[in-house]
């Protein structure tokens, strides 16, 4: 496994992290989730990203990994869905953190993100200040913002966050220079979500209403057809050419995770291939915003 400095946090993070959204599904058995989470850590992945909105995810991470808490970096997201509190209020932030601490069976969380709230909320609600207070109290080691475009731009201008999380992939390159380069200059940790771009190459025709639809249209506009090389090229582009410290992928199957680890071990794309993908995006993009 490749490990990297995580901004100025002092942490060393695996180049491949685990996005724990899928393990929140009640369709997965408890035994399969327990085995998966244990195998993920055994493979050398030391970063797990979850959220309040990911179903059973926080509960299951706490249940099955609390005895290995010191061996991985844990992040979650707050700001909504706590009974008795108004979403995106200053009061819901500490309440969300307390709920997460309980579910995750830990007395601290490495990173807590504000989960894709807009600029108006960042300016006027007191949520960033509440998150900063939680950090000062030691229940949170570092604080972050997860979001895109103008909202991410404003979050960066606040200079209070330690980490950002944003979309970076072949079809979503705006953040490579728009946000990640700025974050790099100020020492923030950078997490790339959607490094595989929702795998739009799996669809032979436009997948209307699917999560991959926008990226499918961009793939066609860029006239990209990489055949069976798609997973390797897409993942390695995000990991080595996207200005991120770690990229997060999710799966309910350990064989998929192992495949991604193997792909990363191939290292960066050759300079010509990477430059071609960057140039194609710049030529074909039509005010393409990053996907939330």
Tens of pLDDT along 103-121? 999 999 999 999 899 999 9
Q: How far apart are the first and last CA of the chain?
A: 28
Q: What are phi and psi of 161, to 5 degrees?
A: -95, 150
Alpha-carbon distance of 117 to 49, in angstroms, equals: 18
What is the rounded average pLDDT of the residues 174-199? 94
For residue 191, the enclosing domain spans 3-199+243-267
pLDDT tens digits, residue range 202-234? Answer: 999 999 999 999 999 999 999 998 888 999 999
In a domain, 281, yes or no: no
Across the chain, mean pLDDT equals 95
Residues comprising the chain, all counted = 292
In a domain, 221, yes or no: no
Number of helices and strands in the chain (H, E): 12, 10
The pLDDT score that the predictor gives to residue 292 is 83
SS3 2: coil
In a domain, 275, yes or no: no
Name the β-bridge partners of 165: 146, 191
What is the rounded average pLDDT of the residues 50-73? 96
Alpha-carbon distance of 6 to 15, in angstroms, equals: 10
Alpha-carbon distance of 28 to 166, in angstroms, equals: 27
Per-residue confidence band for 136, with pLDDT thresholds at 50, 70 and 90: very high
Please classify residue 124 by burial: count the beta carbons closer than 10 Å to its beta carbon, then call 0-12 exposed, 13-18 middle and 19+ buried.
Answer: exposed
Q: Are strands 189-193 and 73-78 parallel, antiparallel or unpaired?
A: unpaired
| pTM for the whole structure | 0.95
Give the DSSP letter string of 119-166: HHHHHHS-HHHHHHHHHHTTSEEEEEEE--HHHHHHHHHH---SEEEE
What is the rounded average pLDDT of the residues 173-197? 93
In a domain, 19, yes or no: yes
pLDDT tens digits, residue range 243-257? Answer: 999 999 999 999 999
What is the rounded average pLDDT of the residues 132-143? 96
Is 154 among the catalytic positions?
no
In a domain, 228, yes or no: no
Enclosing H/E stretch for 65:
helix 57-65
**Could you give the number of structural domains in the chain?**
1
Look at the block and give the residue holding tokens 């007191």: 126
The pLDDT score that the predictor gives to residue 177 is 87
Catalytic residue among 54, 64, 145, 215: 54
The pLDDT score that the predictor gives to residue 89 is 96
In a domain, 164, yes or no: yes
In a domain, 22, yes or no: yes
Q: Say yes or no to pLDDT of 178 above 90.
A: no
Q: Say yes or no to pLDDT of 96 above 90.
A: yes
Buried b (16+ CB within 10 A) or exposed e, 261-287: bebbeeeebeeebbeebbebbeeebee
What CATH code is carried by the domain that includes residue 261?
3.20.20.100
The pLDDT score that the predictor gives to residue 227 is 87
What is the rounded average pLDDT of the residues 238-242? 96
């Amino acid at each position: 496994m490749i490990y990297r400095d995580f901004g100025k946090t002092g942490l060393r993070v695996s180049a491949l992290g685990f996005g724990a959204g899928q393990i929140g599904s009640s369709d997965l058995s408890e035994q399969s989730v327990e085995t998966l989470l244990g195998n993920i850590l055994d493979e050398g992945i030391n970063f797990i990203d979850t959220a309040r909105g990911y179903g059973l995810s926080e509960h299951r991470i706490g249940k099955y990994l609390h005895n290995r808490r010191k061996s991985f970096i844990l992040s979650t997201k707050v700001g909504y869905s706590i009974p008795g509190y108004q979403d995106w209020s200053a009061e819901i932030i500490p309440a969300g953190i307390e709920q997460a601490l309980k579910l995750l069976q830990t007395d601290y969380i490495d990173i807590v993100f504000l989960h894709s709230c807009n600029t108006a909320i960042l300016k006027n609600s007191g949520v960033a200040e509440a998150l900063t207070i939680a950090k000062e109290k030691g229940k949170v080691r570092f604080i972050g913002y997860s979001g895109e475009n103008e909202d991410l731009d404003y979050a960066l201008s606040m200079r209070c966050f330690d980490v950002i999380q944003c979309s970076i992939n072949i079809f979503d390159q705006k953040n490579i220079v728009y946000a990640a380069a700025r974050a790099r200059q100020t020492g923030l940790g950078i997490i790339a979500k959607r490094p595989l771009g929702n795998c739009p190459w799996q669809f032979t025709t436009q997948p209307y209403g699917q999560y991959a639809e926008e990226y499918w249209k961009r793939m066609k506009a860029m006239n990209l057809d990489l055949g069976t090389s798609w997973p390797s090229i897409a993942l390695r582009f995000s990991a080595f050419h996207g200005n991120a410290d770690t990229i997060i992928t999710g799966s309910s199957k350990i064989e998929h995770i192992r495949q991604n680890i193997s792909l990363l071990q191939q290292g960066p794309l050759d300079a010509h291939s990477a430059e071609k993908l960057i140039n194609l995006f710049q030529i074909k993009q039509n005010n393409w915003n990053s996907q939330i």
